Amino acid sequence: MTTTPQADKLIATRVRKGANPAESAELLAELATSHTGDNLAHALEYQGFATAASAERAAHALEIERIDNHVTAVAALLPFPVEVEAEMGGLFTLQILLGSRIPDGAPDRAGINPHVLRATWWIETGEGEISEDSGIPATADPALIAYWLIQRAEHLGSPAAVKAHEPLSA
């Protein structure tokens, strides 16, 4: 089972208290998949992964790491060139940049909003004229998300998708 640095820390905390490492990793994966925000923080505390003082911070770090890993996995499956960059103005997670329509303009982008009850994938055009929620859960199979993102980026005329289809000049 692949873990993140934050997950490794949480598992190590629980193992120091006498828990089994493999069972702890499995339980943590289950908790991180089924809980978010305050619920995840309480679950981490209750199951011995974190103290009351550190649970909220640990839950947030774990969610961000899991989202960032998922965004990176989806970006790697796209058939056109994209950039992956942290959006530091609000979500603080990695997003997939699909190119700018105008010089120095905001890029079309896609990502996951972790600050909602049921986190899903979204795509929007550079200036936010069009914003679509996929309805696809954040942790869905990266191939499914990549397929949806390819279809939507092409339909919206996102620069990365358009550029990928331009004929090569002689």
pLDDT score for 89: 64
The answer to whether residues 82 and 97 touch, using CB atoms and an 8 Å cutoff, is yes
Q: Residue 169 pLDDT more than 60?
A: no
Nearest to 120 by CA among 36, 26, 58: 36
pTM of the full structure: 0.82
Q: Residue 1 pLDDT more than 60?
A: no
pLDDT band at residue 68 under the 50/70/90 scheme: very high
Strands (E), 30-142: 83-86, 94-100, 107-112, 120-124, 131-137
> Tokens standing for 73?
């996995």
> Tokens standing for 27?
């339980």
Over residues 69-104, the pLDDT tens digits come to 999 999 999 999 999 998 766 657 899 999 999 998
Over residues 21-67, the pLDDT tens digits come to 999 999 999 999 888 889 999 999 999 999 999 999 999 999 889 88
The Cα 139–Cα 71 span in angstroms is 10
The Cα 4–Cα 167 span in angstroms is 41
